[in-house]
Structure 1
Amino acid sequence: MTDTVDDTGQQARPWLAWGLLGLVAGSACQLQQQRLWGGAAYAALAAIALACLVGIGLRRRRRWNRWLALPAAALLAFALVGLRAVQFAGDALAPALEGRDIALTGVVAAMPQRNDGALRFRFELESASMAGRPVQLPPQLYLGWYPGLGGGEAQRQPADLRAGERWLLAARLKAPHGNFNPHGFDYELWLWEQGLQATGYVRAGPKDPPPRRIGVTWRHPVEAARQSVRDRIDARVADPSTSSGQAGKAAGLLAALVVGDQAAIDRADWDVFRATGVAHLMSISGLHITMFAWAAAWAIGWLWRRSARLCLAWPAQHAALVGGIALATGYAVFSGWGVPAQRTVLMLATVAVLRLWGRRWPWPQVWLLACAVVVAVDPWALLQAGFWLSFVAVGVLFASDAGAQAGGRLAAFFREQAVVTLALLPLTVLLFGQVSVVSLLANAVAIPWVTLLVTPLALAGVLAPPLWDLAAWAVQVLGLWLGWLAAWPWATVAAAAPPPWAAAAGLLGGILLVLRLPWPLRALGLPLLLPVLLWQPERPLEGEFELLAADIGQGNAVIVRTAGHTLVYDSGPRYSRESDAGHRVLVPLLRALGERVDTLVLSHRDADHTGGAAAVLAMQPQAALVSSIEDDHELQALRKAARCVAGQRWHWDGVEFELLHPQADDYLAPAKSNAMSCVLRIANGRQTALLVGDIEAAQEARLVSSVRAKPVGRQAQDDRSPGVSTSSTRTALSADVLLVPHHGSKTSSTPAFLQAVRPRIAIVQAGYRNRFGHPAPPVLERYRLQGVRVIQSPQCGAAWWRSVQPQAVQCQRATAFRYWNHRIASP
């Protein structure tokens, strides 16, 4: 970074730029820590770093200052972020309070989110007590109030909670815990960044004290206003007497644009937006805030110039700049002050300060300063996809000077879109596993349509509600265009998630292609793109197989891979009408792994095994469906299912797959759903896996009695007794790894069954602190008495087992754990 001179004649010091880079790098390094250090250690590092920076500032003429600025600033940022994390972690929920009935008094801190009749809301705690004694809890809680059954009892229907109301209610809490999968969404990081250190649900059964509204406070007036506006939009646009279902969808989009309620948008609409590459427009994004700031600045400047006295007091351009950013900040606050909005406001404010200060720094330093300011305020933004997409896009536009090239405004607009799309292609593949082929066409219409028509009408509707009707019409017209594009056969192209080195090379290649350089130099970017576009994850060798037990909560979902084939056993639960394990976990995971599923096996009809099937089948149109579900099951309309019957077997790449249960006669008079679970045995002659669904004691006994003891090969060894052959005791049910029946229920895993299977490793897929108490302690004890290693998804996250390393299980929580993630002691 060379010395430059700004408009004031003052030389811009290069050590300052190196210091800014150090702030970002130090923050990024701290986010890689698995465990936090003590506060004293971070404080000592901060003191050392400050002393170094003060010395650099006092000795301005020494050239080596620029080399010291980067490590000193990095050390300071590392220490300060660590101190913030230690302070926040100090308010964590005590494990002894998890799952206990606690009386809470506090204020609803944000407008609640309603989904399927349930409420999710932030609760600002004032006091808490358990059995009449006060207890210490985190200051902010994330609670749910669910209708229907809870703990086997009928629940009171959720009340109409309003932001700012004070409530007295009973709740059960637990530490922040989410699904932990490769390439998955880090829910625990999201809670950490939102300042939430405990989740839970309202106890509203007939035996619980009824939740009681104490009164209304003046706290959180902005949230109360947001909720009021959202309710007015719903009443105006989604009125069933005057509006259609499409109008209801439009109401959700308008609520997202005006008050930042992204949860109001249907999942099907989000799928269309992602397929067409316009998802960034359908929430309060940087583009909306920037456009609002520009429009507000133009209006303020125009009005300011109408008064000579005001112009003499302060230049119109300065008033426009400050006023535009102030109004944009107000819009960002009213829309929920989300992370993208915060990031954009900080970027705009940083550039405005430089202008008001009279500094004209080169664009790399301005870009780096804005980045450092955002990271200093929110270091954990470095782990958000939006951070990288927005900053890389702005940097590419600056570097390529796309908007300043010859041509009209329309040509410049399309050139900017093409430049950003090409440059961000590798980053998009890394973050989302797919690229929208139609994004240029979609954005060519959607960007001006949403920013110049839909959003202004939606905002103006706050003052003139009839304008919401026009905005809803505009949304429906846009929906027709986007839906048509999303229906194209090749609207999106999925690609396996590349490793970081490939993504970095691809990003460099994309930037080279769009820079204003001679074409021979630009062409060097093409080979750098190839690792991203052609990357294929490593698969098992011929004759080997592997299991990936996804972390999906209370349910089953296992991905089985051979050298050239993939099978999915069960698809996890349905979480709500808009969310299931297929859409939230399996589809992103399969896309990131670059999988083409050959067969989906659904063990039986229960929702915790079939909840994500529709999403998986939609993503994998070629996959065959094998299941014991009834002929009139709703999934039969999506893909006709072949019955799983004992005796069916097939071979893939030297690996044998065999169904052991149910028998053909079982379909004549089907028993309860658990008894019809498809039992799948996978073996390669050396290692065996057994996936058993929710079979219970009767089915286990039947399996034990239906197989006869037989040798499984001279090479069969028991790792618990090295050197002792077990071929005389191994049976056709014997397996090295077992998917624990019925999630560890008391009705399964009988001693006789375990003696017949004799697993080395048992995998339990169950939800953290689930209401069924799975796995049951007596069941775990049976496995321990037989020397079986039990892997539970709450402690392990996604579990990866490979036949080439049969003694090892790779746990996602162990390999990708960071200090904000929930750590559970193994039982």
Structure 2
Amino acid sequence: MRTGSVRPLGPVVAVALVAGALGTLMLPVVPGWLAWCAIAAAGFAGWWYGGGWRGAGAFVTGAALAGLHAVFALALQLPVALERADVPLTGRVVGLPEHDVDRTRFQFRVDRDRRIPDALQGRLLRLAWYDGRDGEPGARHALEAGSRWAFTARLRAPRGLRNPGWFDGEKHAFARRIAAVGYVRDREPVTQLRGGQGIDRWREQVAQRIDATVPSASSRYVRALALGDTRGLDEIDWQTLRATGLTHLIAISGFHVGLVAGFFALLAGGLWRLRPALGRVLPRPQVAVLAAFAAALFYAAVAGWALPTVRTVLMIGVAMAARLWRRPLGVADALALAGIAIVLVDPLSLLTAGFWLSFAGVAWLVWCLPDAQGKPLLASFLRAQWVATLGLLPLTVILFGQASLAGPFANLVAIPWWSLVVVPLSLLGTALEAAHAGWGAGSWRLAAWCFDLSWPLFERLAASGAALWWLPEARWFALPLAVLAAFWLLLPRGVPGKWLALLLWLPLLWPDRQLPDAGAAELIVLDVGQGLAVLVRTRHQSLLYDMGPAVPDGYDAGERVVLPALHALGARRLHALVASHADLDHAGGLPAVRRQFPDAALFAPEHAGIEGTAPCLAGAGWQVDGVTFRFLHPPLHFPDFRNEASCVLRVETLHGAVLLAGDIGAVVERELARADPVAVRADVVLAAHHGSGKSSDPLFVAATGARHALVSTGHGNRFGHPQAEAVVRWEEAGAQVHDTAAAGALRVRLDARGITVEERRASHPRLWDAAHRMARLTAAP
């Protein structure tokens, strides 16, 4: 490379900086801050003074910056000494609180006060405030954005569930520097120190006025478009948006900020045209860009500083600086400078989907449509839609595990209608409301009416069976191959061999699902917290044993964990469902699973009270793909003893057997061991009742002869599962105990190679993994 050919702030440096930061964030562990400081100094010198080595210097600088931020973010997390402790706190509510039926969730910035433990001063917490024992909301309804409170909270370090799939709660907390999560102890004194203040309180008040003035259900969408406030959208709304590929339009995006900036630029320019004398003070072009930047900056604050808005503000700021200094600047250069600025300020933003979709979308359009000016508007729009769909498909699949087949068609309607009609009306209402309370009502109502004209079309598209294509988890090399394929397909006409690019899509769109051979089986115990969900797969069929916990009008593991994991594992169809019993920690997720797989046969205990089930009677069974499934319990007319009546299922392969014991206790375990010791003999046993001390009876444990005991528990659960005496009984009998709370999802294969157990946290290590947090904190400052 010729010396000086790489500009210090050009696109090559931007790509190198991002690549270096991403490389660090993919490491399982990082060195301490002193090492990163030395690496950063060397990298910056190479970047700024290295000439042809600038790209390499930027790569090293990005890696070091991400390392420093990672060490700092890990050092912020709650120390072990404060785990499950009740801590008196004072501080301020950050962002918009989410008021649900029985709880309020909010972020809380702790004060720097000597009465608060040093490890929590100035930290950001994610808290919940639940209703009291009498079910009354108490004071939580008074929780306002920007308000100050004093209360006692029970805290723990951020820890998410680890499963096949695409959402990682620990990554989310790590990227936002959330030090701890917990809940308000309302048995202790709770005092409001000050009412809501600031821009977030104003956003909250405007959201309330939108709800009050827009009578239709679409008020929640107007709130999202006008303020970036998506609190009102439920899971069904998001499913519809994902199925139609419209999630990028429903919340405030860079396009919205661009509309606001453009309007104020025209307004300032028009004022200067009306009063030419003002040009002697400051030229009109400079005034226009200054007005655009000020408006974009204010509106980004109104939108809650979402990443797409920040990217747009940075691009406008770069364009403004170039205009003021009379330097020519293209869109690609502005995009590169915005990317460099974001990585320099917050390299952990690379962990968010918004960063990749925001920058990649603009980059594809800049590269593929450099000559859009002067072309027919419709042709340019259709071509841009094709570029965005094909270019962003690899990222969409990797980030969300899905592709919207209806998206290109829905966007043909939504982009012009929402962007040119609904969004401007929503923004106009916000601007009028900022000028005077009550002025925005008419504009918001008109925006809702226009939105309602198009929404039924998108609901029908989403309801069609072909709207959304769920794809299994792909190998690491699938993404670069798919990006190369998209690049190849988007090259100019006449480039030979484009049809060969289709082959490069195969690892992403049709990955190997690693299904068992005939006579073999695979068992995946999902990490659902304090509950149970187990997927059993043979060569051609899948069975789900329990569906995870759910809370009425609250968290549903069936929707949030089980279904995404099934999609990630490529389970396109379930042939059978077994609800071991009706307790909510086992069958809570059943409604969500049945909505997705309505044709699956459902088994449950005779007295479980679950509609549409066949009883799981002892002795009943079937065989498929050389694997035998047989119920061992309960027998006919067994009393309704809830836990003790759990369905006990034996899965026997050519290479070993598995026993799924539900929540049975020691009495039933002993009876099974005495009545049919051959049937309970198994290589892998799901320990009954989450490893309770009242289960895993010594006689039963010895009768199974298990080599592996699997336990499904929630981290730090209040029951103390698995209890020490149960773990000791399994270990003394020669079994290795695997707990989902510590290991994440457990993947067990029984095939010709033997019996293997893969723990998700061990096989997919992450920098932010709480299981290794203490080892890394020793290197923190």
Q: Same fold (TM over 0.5)?
A: yes
* Corresponding residue to 1:661 among 621, 633, 644: 633
* 8 A contact 1:146–1:157 mirrored in 2: no
Distance 1:763 1:306 in 2: 77
Map of 2:19 onto structure 1: 25
Map of 1:490 onto structure 2: 466
Map of 1:120 onto structure 2: 105
2:191 matched to 1:212? Answer: yes
* 8 A contact 2:175–2:351 mirrored in 1: no
* 1:91-150 per-position Cα deviation (integer Å, ceiling 9, x unaligned): 321112111222112222232111223111111212689xx9956325221111112559
User: 5+ residue gaps in structure 1?
Assistant: 5-10, 57-64, 238-242, 709-730
* Corresponding residue to 1:514 among 490, 513, 526: 490
2:537 matched to 1:561? Answer: yes
**1:31 shift after superposition:** 0.6
* Corresponding residue to 2:747 among 800, 807, 813: 800
Distance 2:194 2:120 in 1: 22
**1:461 shift after superposition:** 3.2
Distance 2:773 2:6 in 1: 53
C-alpha spacing 1:358/1:203, structure 2 compared with 1 (3 Å):
same
Q: How does 1:241-390 map to 2 (within 5 A)?
A: 243=215, 247=216, 249-360=217-328, 365-390=333-358
**1:632 shift after superposition:** 5.6
* 1:770-820 per-position Cα deviation (integer Å, ceiling 9, x unaligned): 222222233223333333222111211111111135554212212222222
SS at match of 1:158: helix
* Corresponding residue to 1:428 among 380, 393, 396: 396
Map of 2:686 onto structure 1: 739
Map of 2:596 onto structure 1: 619
Distance 1:264 1:646 in 2: 47
* 8 A contact 1:253–1:265 mirrored in 2: yes
**1:753 shift after superposition:** 2.0
2:628 matched to 1:645? Answer: no
* 1:718-770 per-position Cα deviation (integer Å, ceiling 9, x unaligned): xxxxxxxxxxxxx3212222222111223322222212223222222111112
* 8 A contact 2:631–2:649 mirrored in 1: yes
Map of 1:62 onto structure 2: none
1:498 alignment partner AA: A
**1:629 shift after superposition:** 7.0
Distance 1:549 1:705 in 2: 28
Distance 2:773 2:496 in 1: 57
RMSD, matched Cα? 2.8
Map of 1:183 onto structure 2: 165
Q: How does 1:217-256 map to 2 (within 5 A)?
A: 221-237=198-214, 243=215, 247=216, 249-256=217-224
> Could you tell me the TM-score, scaled by structure 1's length?
0.86
* 8 A contact 2:269–2:287 mirrored in 1: yes
Distance 1:403 1:444 in 2: 21
2:271 alignment partner AA: L
Identity %: 38
SS at match of 2:96: coil
* Corresponding residue to 2:450 among 470, 474, 481: 474
* 8 A contact 2:166–2:399 mirrored in 1: no
C-alpha spacing 1:287/1:614, structure 2 compared with 1 (3 Å):
farther
* 8 A contact 2:311–2:338 mirrored in 1: no
C-alpha spacing 1:824/1:375, structure 2 compared with 1 (3 Å):
closer
2:147 matched to 1:165? Answer: yes
* 8 A contact 1:582–1:615 mirrored in 2: yes
* Corresponding residue to 2:87 among 69, 77, 102: 102
Map of 2:777 onto structure 1: none
Distance 1:44 1:14 in 2: 21
* 8 A contact 1:107–1:166 mirrored in 2: yes
Map of 2:436 onto structure 1: none
Q: How does 1:550-629 map to 2 (within 5 A)?
A: 550-575=526-551, 577=553, 579-595=555-571, 596-628=573-605
* 8 A contact 1:688–1:737 mirrored in 2: yes
Distance 1:622 1:344 in 2: 47
Map of 1:460 onto structure 2: 428
* 8 A contact 1:223–1:334 mirrored in 2: yes
* 1:559-614 per-position Cα deviation (integer Å, ceiling 9, x unaligned): 11112211111111125636422222222222222212221222111112222223
SS at match of 2:111: strand
2:119 alignment partner AA: Q
2:663 matched to 1:680? Answer: no
* Corresponding residue to 1:539 among 497, 515, 520: 515
1:275 alignment partner AA: A
* 1:522-561 per-position Cα deviation (integer Å, ceiling 9, x unaligned): 4443333344333332211221111111111111011111
The worse-fitting range, judged by mean Cα deviation, of 195-204 and 784-793 is: 784-793
Map of 1:137 onto structure 2: 120
C-alpha spacing 1:779/1:771, structure 2 compared with 1 (3 Å):
same
SS at match of 1:680: strand
* Corresponding residue to 2:699 among 752, 761, 764: 752
* 1:270-291 per-position Cα deviation (integer Å, ceiling 9, x unaligned): 1111111111111122332233
1:819 alignment partner AA: L
* 1:56-89 per-position Cα deviation (integer Å, ceiling 9, x unaligned): 2xxxxxxxx31x2222222222222222222332
Map of 2:658 onto structure 1: 689
Give the length in aligned residue pairs. Answer: 763
Distance 1:44 1:512 in 2: 40
Distance 2:651 2:337 in 1: 56
Structure with the larger RCO, 1 or 2 (CA within 8 Å, 6+ apart): 2
* 8 A contact 1:149–1:155 mirrored in 2: no
C-alpha spacing 1:125/1:562, structure 2 compared with 1 (3 Å):
same
2:744 matched to 1:773? Answer: no
Map of 1:59 onto structure 2: none
C-alpha spacing 1:510/1:3, structure 2 compared with 1 (3 Å):
farther
Distance 1:683 1:42 in 2: 53
Map of 2:37 onto structure 1: 43
1:112 alignment partner AA: P
The worse-fitting range, judged by mean Cα deviation, of 676-685 and 348-357 is: 348-357
Distance 2:238 2:607 in 1: 31
C-alpha spacing 1:706/1:290, structure 2 compared with 1 (3 Å):
farther
Map of 1:670 onto structure 2: 640
Distance 2:340 2:209 in 1: 39
Distance 2:246 2:40 in 1: 43
User: 5+ residue gaps in structure 2?
Assistant: 434-438, 775-781
* 8 A contact 2:709–2:737 mirrored in 1: yes
Distance 2:499 2:8 in 1: 32
C-alpha spacing 1:537/1:317, structure 2 compared with 1 (3 Å):
farther
* 8 A contact 2:74–2:773 mirrored in 1: no
C-alpha spacing 1:154/1:515, structure 2 compared with 1 (3 Å):
same
Distance 2:609 2:737 in 1: 37
C-alpha spacing 1:51/1:458, structure 2 compared with 1 (3 Å):
closer
Map of 1:717 onto structure 2: none
Map of 1:197 onto structure 2: 179
SS at match of 1:574: coil
Distance 2:601 2:324 in 1: 64
SS at match of 1:424: helix
Distance 2:492 2:145 in 1: 52
* 1:393-429 per-position Cα deviation (integer Å, ceiling 9, x unaligned): 2222122217717753133222211221123233323
SS at match of 2:496: helix
C-alpha spacing 1:646/1:352, structure 2 compared with 1 (3 Å):
farther
C-alpha spacing 1:214/1:629, structure 2 compared with 1 (3 Å):
farther
C-alpha spacing 1:392/1:564, structure 2 compared with 1 (3 Å):
same
> Could you tell me the TM-score, scaled by structure 2's length?
0.91
Distance 1:326 1:783 in 2: 66
**1:185 shift after superposition:** 0.8
